[in-house]
Structure 1
Amino acid sequence: MIFRGSCHCGQVAFEVEGELARVTECNCSICSRKGALLWFVPREKFRLISGEQSLGTYAFGSRTVSHRFCSTCGIHPFGEGVDPSGNRITAVNARCLDDVDLSSLVVEHFDGRAL
């Protein structure tokens, strides 16, 4: 299935392919403040449609994840990084996807504060 998503103002738009059933809610200092529900997909399943020039990047701590945000509206639609096996991944904020019933998703909790 292909999902489409964007930031609030629409400058950053993307599509992602996969089966969306589970998301991760991380309690680290940035994810808890953003309220993100993260769907991790292989990088090749994610395609940025527009907004490369509008994207800002924020990295902290170990700097293994680049948190991407729209420099106009401030919304964080996705992040980029590497999984423990060394594969490039994209962490899509499911709250930025169009027409997704978030209440139907299984939410797994991740203790990012403990890292």
Structure 2
Amino acid sequence: MSSIAQAASSLGTVTGGCHCGAVRFAVRGDFSSGISCNCSICQKRGHLLGFVPAANFELVAGEDNLADYLFNRHVIHHLFCRDCGIESFARAVGPDGNEMIAVNIRCLDDVDLSNVAVTPFDGRSR
């Protein structure tokens, strides 16, 4: 079984995208763990988030198919496919001031989610 199928536990490049396939990306990172946020949008969408520097992310297809949704403090660009509605990633500036990508680990290809360690995050209280 490949490392991607075991939750992409190394810093290898993995692929992912939306449900219909219009949005596709490649990302380099360790997705052996993820954040489960309880804010109003993450909870409703069931996101499991992994974070990488923007330099580790390449949007391969679908830039013109993305819609941007901002809410609350308007600092995270929640990007979703105009066709299927899936948010496979978001863009923001991290606490260190650098651009980062929040990848929905559930949208990575061939990842066994049972091998992903989940850490709860109380985004609702922020």
Q: TM-score, normalised by structure 2?
A: 0.89
Distance in 1 separating the partners of 2:75 and 2:47: 17
Shift of 1:20: 1.7
Amino acid of the residue matched to residue 45 of structure 2?
Answer: K
Residue number among 47, 51, 54 corresponding to 2:58 in the alignment: 47
Residues 43-70 of structure 1: per-residue CA shift (max 9 Å, x gap): 0000000000100010101111100000
The one-letter amino acid paired with 1:5 is: G
Which residue among 43, 49, 54 is the counterpart of 1:32? 43
For residue 76 of structure 2, what is the aligned residue in structure 1? 65
1:29 to partner: Cα distance = 0.2
5+ residue gaps, structure 2: 1-11
TM-fit CA distance, 1:15: 0.6
2:106 maps to which of 95, 102, 105: 95
Residue 10 of structure 1: aligned partner: 21
Q: Which amino acid aligns with 2:113?
A: L
Paired with 2:52 and 2:42, the residues of 1 have a C-alpha distance of 17
The offset of 1:95, in angstroms, is 0.6
1:8 is aligned with what amino acid? H
Q: Which amino acid in structure 2 is aligned with residue 47 of structure 1?
A: E
Partner of 2:34: 23
CA distance in 2, matches of 1:6, 1:96: 6
The counterpart of 2:120, out of the listed 86, 109, 112, is 109
Instruction: Tell me the residue number matched to 2:86.
Output: 75
Where is the strand percentage greater, Structure 1 or Structure 2?
1
Taking only the aligned residue pairs, the percentage that are identical comes to 49
TM-score (norm 1): 0.98
Q: Which amino acid aligns with 2:106?
A: R
Q: Secondary structure at the match of 1:24?
A: strand
Q: Distance in 1 between matches of 2:32 and 2:19?
A: 23
